[in-house]
Amino acid sequence: MVLLGASYSPHAATRERARYWADSVEAMAFADEYFGSATVFSALNAACLERRLRALQAGHAMCIYQTFEGNTMARRRARRCRFNEVVAMARELGFQNGRHENLEDVTRDTFSWEEFILKEELVRTLVYMIVLDSAFGILYNTIPRVMVSEIQTDLVCPEACFQATTESECLQHLLAWTSHPLWKGRRLSIAGAFGILSGTNLDFQTQQMFAQFGDLNLYLLICAFHSTVFYIRNSILPFEQTRSVANFSRNWRRIWTLRELRRFREAFGTPAQGTGDDAMRMERWRQTGFMKEALQFWLLGQIMVESKRPSQRDQSPKLGDNDAPIQFDQPCMNDLKQYLRSFDRTLS
């Protein structure tokens, strides 16, 4: 974390020192005795879960740092080797284990703030795997390492629960969330939510429920969508958009539009991000970040899918005539640039 902070320092000398130590810190993170899928600490148990989770978070953070701040060799290593190790460890911990148990039965006497936050950290660390995975696919046309169907991890909880500064505040928001009419009695994983959006038209109550999930959950679902789109845009078969892909795209867009129109000030009865007092709004770590631009990622997905559709002049394109990228794991991002240029041409 110190390395990541130093890399964004306003002082050039500090940023340069961060780059100098990057490879050494990476080696330390991946040499940690708790890291990996083949260690004596592989079993998921309360005694070592937190320590293993910290090791996984460190490895994941170093992949992010080296991908965007490292030199050419470090970027390639993060993309081709290190992230594979991170995903393998995430599978060892188990995507299916990133689930809260019986939150609807929690009372003041039974609630453990430490246990809830540790489990939510596990949830968020596991689901963030698909964020970097989809980024590699978008930027470098790298084959996805994480399958949408295996992310049986819970959707992340409302930010007010996770960002609470006291146990009583966390419990207050948690009870408001689990008793809310749109959520009461439900539980939903990333894979489950993706399946619902890929179904037929959603009724208005379901749309309202998804609209309250927040920017982060909707962004995670778009990342999952890009992992699916990868196989469409790289297929050598003629274009045939499946109904489930079309359903997902339509349903997600309607939910996002509903959020924009209603301007939700809460998420399942808890304060939404950016709606607290002035002091909280000034703390940048509480803000949504680039996830609030999820609509742009949805639009990019539409561009990629449409690039496979034959033009009206040629409904039977010859082999090799489509716009699907032909090179994988390319560092120059040529294919992403090609998609964006083709979109610019359609607007001009």
For residue 151, tell me if it sits in a domain.
yes
Domain boundary among 93, 128, 158: 93
Which of 71, 93, 115 terminates a domain? The answer is: 93
> Percent of the chain at pLDDT above 90?
63
Which pLDDT score, from 0 to 100, does residue 341 have?
Answer: 80
Which SS3 state, helix, strand or coil, does residue 320 take? coil
Q: Helices 243-262 & 215-233, crossing angle to 10 degrees?
A: 150
How many whole angstroms separate alpha carbon 294 and alpha carbon 263? 16
Gap between the Cα atoms of 171 and 150, Å rounded: 30
238 contacts: CB under 8 Å, gap ≥ 6: 310, 317
pLDDT of residue 321: 44
pLDDT in tens, 205-260: 999 999 999 999 999 999 999 999 998 888 877 666 678 999 999 999 999 999 88
Confidence of residue 347 (pLDDT cuts 50, 70, 90): low
What one-character DSSP code corresponds to residue 118? Answer: H
pLDDT of 324 reads 46
DSSP letter at 79 equals I
**Mean pLDDT calculated for residue range 264-285:** 70
* Same domain flag for 22 and 168: no
Report DSSP state, residue 267: E
> Which of 50, 67, 93 represents a domain boundary (last residue)?
93
Are 174 and 254 part of one and the same domain? yes
On whether both 67 and 110 belong to a single domain, the answer is no
Look at 9-23, 114-128, 324-338 and tell me which has the smallest mean pLDDT.
324-338
137-183 confidence digits (pLDDT tens):
999 999 999 999 999 999 999 999 999 999 999 999 999 999 999 99
Query: What does the alpha-carbon distance between residue 194 and residue 222 come to, in Å, rounded to a whole number?
Result: 9
Task: State the pLDDT at residue 200.
Answer: 84
The CB-side HSE value for 192 (13 A sphere, CA atoms) comes to 12
d(CA 149, CA 152): 7
In this model, does residue 10 exceed pLDDT 60?
A: yes
Say if residue 345's pLDDT is above 80: no
Domain-embedded: residue 148: yes
* Pair 226, 269 in one domain: yes
Same domain (yes/no): 76, 196: no
DSSP bridge partners of 266 = 271
Residues 222 and 173 in one domain: yes
pLDDT computed for residue 272 by the predictor: 79
pLDDT tens, 28-41? 999 999 998 666 66
Same domain, 269 and 224: yes
Do 338 and 233 belong to one domain? yes
pLDDT at 298: 96
In-domain check, residue 146: yes
Q: 213 lies in which domain range?
A: 104-273+286-309+331-343
Residue 245 lies in a domain: yes
Half-sphere exposure of 280 (CA within 13 A, CB side): 15
**Residue 123 and residue 50 share a domain:** no
Over residues 73-114, the pLDDT tens digits come to 999 999 999 999 999 999 999 999 999 988 999 999 999 999
Q: Is residue 45 part of a domain?
A: yes
Number of domains in the chain: 2
Decide if pLDDT at 338 tops 90. no
- Does 280 reside within a domain? no
* pLDDT value for 42: 55
What's the pLDDT band for 318 if we cut at 50, 70, 90?
Answer: very low
Mean of pLDDT over the chain: 87
Which tens digit of pLDDT belongs to each residue from 277-304? 555 556 777 888 889 999 999 999 999 8
Helices and strands, number each (H, E), in the chain: 16, 2
Tokens of 68: 């965007």
Residue 348 lies in a domain: no
Confidence of residue 319 (pLDDT cuts 50, 70, 90): very low
| Lookup: tokens for 346 | 């359609």
Beta carbons of 60 and 26 less than 8 angstroms apart = no
pLDDT above 70 for 45: no
Residues 152 and 299 in one domain: yes
| Domain contains 262 | yes
Overall pTM surpassing 0.85 (yes/no): yes
Tokens 């629960």 belong to 161
Q: Does one domain contain both 31 and 146?
A: no
64 lies in the same domain as 165 = no
Helix (H, G, I), strand (E, B) or coil at 157: coil
Which of 15-24, 28-37, 276-285, 313-322 has the weakest average pLDDT? 313-322
Cα–Cα distance measured from residue 300 to residue 226, given in angstroms and rounded to the nearest whole number = 9
